[in-house]
Amino acid sequence: MPVIEKLNIVVTGGAGFIGSHLCDRLVQKGHAVTCLDNLDTGRFDNVRPLLNHPNFRFVEADVRDPLSIDGPVDRIYNLACPASPPHYQRDPIGTVKTCVLGALHVLELARATGARVLQASTSEVYGDPEIHPQPESYRGAVNTTGPRACYDEGKRCAEALFFDYRRLYGVPVKVARIFNTYGPRMLENDGRVISNFVVQALRNRPITLYGDGSQTRSFCYVADLLDGLELLMESDDAITGPINLGNPREVTVEEIARMVLRQTGSRSPITYRPLPEDDPRRRRPEIAAAARALGWAPRVALEDGLKSTIDDFAMRVATPVSPASNSAEPPAGLTAAARPARKRRAALSAVGSSA
């Protein structure tokens, strides 16, 4: 990783699964970090240990509103958006607004401050791919009117905005297409493969497979992803992306279920349910561009990362927290938002996925 000076960094979605790990790492490296989050799917507990650090500031804010930050800004990581199907389908219009208005407001902040800005895009821009593995040149096979379109198309529009701001205003942009990522701090109720299987196994409940379990995914451990995001952010301005970041090891969903059962020692049976609409059949990144441009490749084996993830879930599942209370709320008076965040923590609808 290149050695750089102390930077003023904004992380939107910084109380979420990936964002909170990124905040931890950036603070540990000596940077001044402002974490923005509306705590819709982010958890305040994820960043609570950083609150007394002089280089960390938490602001409860929503990227759908215009953003203003006191002081200089050198880097912006835009990670703000619900990323699991049950969460982004719960409020599809809000998801589109978060993707599109959020990108617009982050780009305007970058334009006003001269900051470099990285967009956390997604492998979902490839839809249910007809090319395997998926290179960055593949334009995707997305159902533009389906239940996942709010997220898929929202992220595609955000990418377009990023490159238009680069062309029109010279804003230094980076776009990472993130594939399935896992690790400690995943939400128990996010509806994704690993979190679903681990929670069900730890509670000795039936493991739910959607479809016949033959659909494939590629899982990247969160620490490996952070390496890729930082390398992309600090790369030469000419390296804009989009660049795939993910682990090319491909496994079936059923293989993951059986791996979780072995590691947890659970006696949970496996049950099968119909595959949700537009659920991708195969997903695997082509990462040659990341290797060539960034010198990046994932290093954590799935078995090792899964053990750390299960250990984290085991501590939390023993004392489950409801989505409404969530221990996501910051204590009164702690936040410094210029405007209140929207409260949209309605109960989750029963939406399944093998994402």
**R_g over Cα of the chain:** 19
What 223-228 contacts at long range (C-beta under 8 Å, 24+ apart), as own/partner pairs, is 223/21, 223/183, 223/300, 224/298, 224/299, 224/300, 225/18, 225/178, 225/181, 226/18, 226/21, 226/22, 226/25, 227/1, 227/296, 228/176, 228/290, 228/294, 228/296
Cβ proximity of 3 and 31 under 8 Å? no
- Per DSSP, the three-state class of 349 is coil
CA distance 76 to 78: 6
CA distance 123 to 60: 28
Length of the chain in residues, anyone?
355
Catalytic residue among 77, 88, 151, 182: 151
- Per DSSP, the three-state class of 234 is coil
Confirm whether 151 is a catalytic residue. yes
Q: What are phi and psi of 338, to 5 degrees?
A: -75, -20
Catalytic residues: 151
